[in-house]
Amino acid sequence: MRVTICFGGSILVPGTPDLACIRDIVKTVRELRSQNHEVLIVVGGGELARSYISAAQELGIPGIDQDQIGIAATRLNAQLLIAALGEIAEPAPVTVFEKAVRAIFRNKVPVMGGTTPGQTTDAVAAMLAQVSKSEILVFFTNVDGVYTADPKVDPKAKKLDRLTPDELAKLVGSAEYKPGMKSVMDPVAVKLIQRSNIKTLILGRHEITRLPEILNGAKHTGTVIARVSKW
Ligand code: UTP
């Protein structure tokens, strides 16, 4: 199976880089490849991006330049993961979708960070999944699924096991994009998922090493976004 996986910056670099998380990712990617899955990876910027973006904001730097700074942070995280993955990874962060697909044909794991201002790496992952014709798109985040409201703010928020792309779009609403924004998923990514109808999983950090069995049908505690009810 071809799978695009997005590791949110908030789990990869919650403050400083989370070494246990990086080791779990390396182990999981090796395991997936040994089961003949093709893996494409996107990583977020985490605290590194956020601290640099807020410094830029305080300096009065325009939004588009804040985004470029955020993109640079995601690529530094990508470079760290590439180094940890070693010879199985494409040696530098991939910045063009077609090159990521070509890496797969050379049996390498492409790792992307951000690409374009005005979005987050959620959108990069949704686009990469579409361009590479991945069967599944998986997001690992610091919130272990989609909730009816922000669980950190609303104690009554409930986790949803499954929802359609249209329901996800309703939930995310018309959240306005801002550099460094925090929301369940960036609105650009939601639109891409709605349009492509790709099967999407949102999972918590604790499920990383379980991904091989989850792809083989094992239960998980995250949220499935799909149109068909049997999946
Ligand atoms: P992230 O993808 O890390 O944002 O991009 P995020 O959703 O906050 O992810 P987590 O919480 O770290 O997992 C960080 C910032 O980099 C810029 C944006 O400013 C974004 O907020 N960025 C990223 C872009 O402008 N374009 C991209 O393609 C990616």
Average pLDDT over the chain reads 93
Domain contains 74: yes
Q: How far is the CA of 129 from the centre of ligand 1 (A)?
A: 17
Q: How far is the CA of 20 from the centre of ligand 1 (A)?
A: 22
Residue 218 has pLDDT above 70, yes or no: yes
The reply to whether ligand 1 has any atom less than 6 angstroms from the CB of 69 is: no
Check residue 228 and report its DSSP letter.
S
Convert the pLDDT of each residue in 69-125 to its tens digit.
999 999 999 999 999 999 999 999 999 999 999 999 999 999 999 999 999 999 999
Ligand 1, pocket-test mutation among 18, 120, 177, 183, most atoms within 8 A of CB: 120
Counting from 1 in the atom list of ligand 1, the atom nearest the Cα of 66 is: 19
Confidence (pLDDT) at 172: 82
Domain contains 121: yes
Confidence (pLDDT) at 230: 47
Convert the pLDDT of each residue in 176-210 to its tens digit.
666 666 667 899 999 999 998 899 999 999 999 99
Section 37-62 average pLDDT: 97
Ligand 1, pocket-test mutation among 11, 21, 74, 140, most atoms within 8 A of CB: 74
Q: Could you tell me the CATH number of the domain that includes residue 7?
A: 3.40.1160.10
Q: CA 22: distance to chain centroid? A: 14
Section 49-58 average pLDDT: 97
Q: Within a 13 Å sphere around the CA of 116, how many CA atoms are in the beta-carbon half?
A: 12
Domain contains 152: yes
Convert the pLDDT of each residue in 126-147 to its tens digit.
999 999 999 999 999 998 899 9
- Determine which residue's CA is closest to atom 27 belonging to ligand 1: 114
Domain contains 146: yes
The reply to whether ligand 1 has any atom less than 6 angstroms from the CB of 121 is: yes
Confidence (pLDDT) at 53: 97
Residue 231 has pLDDT above 80, yes or no: no
Range of the domain at 141: 2-225
Which residues, at least 6 apart from 193, have a Cβ–Cβ distance to it below 8 Å? Answer: 126, 137, 165, 168, 200, 225
Share of the chain above pLDDT 70, in %: 94
Which residues, at least 6 apart from 190, have a Cβ–Cβ distance to it below 8 Å? Answer: 165, 168, 169, 172
Number of domains the chain contains: 1
Sign of CA dihedral 159, 204, 12, 37: negative
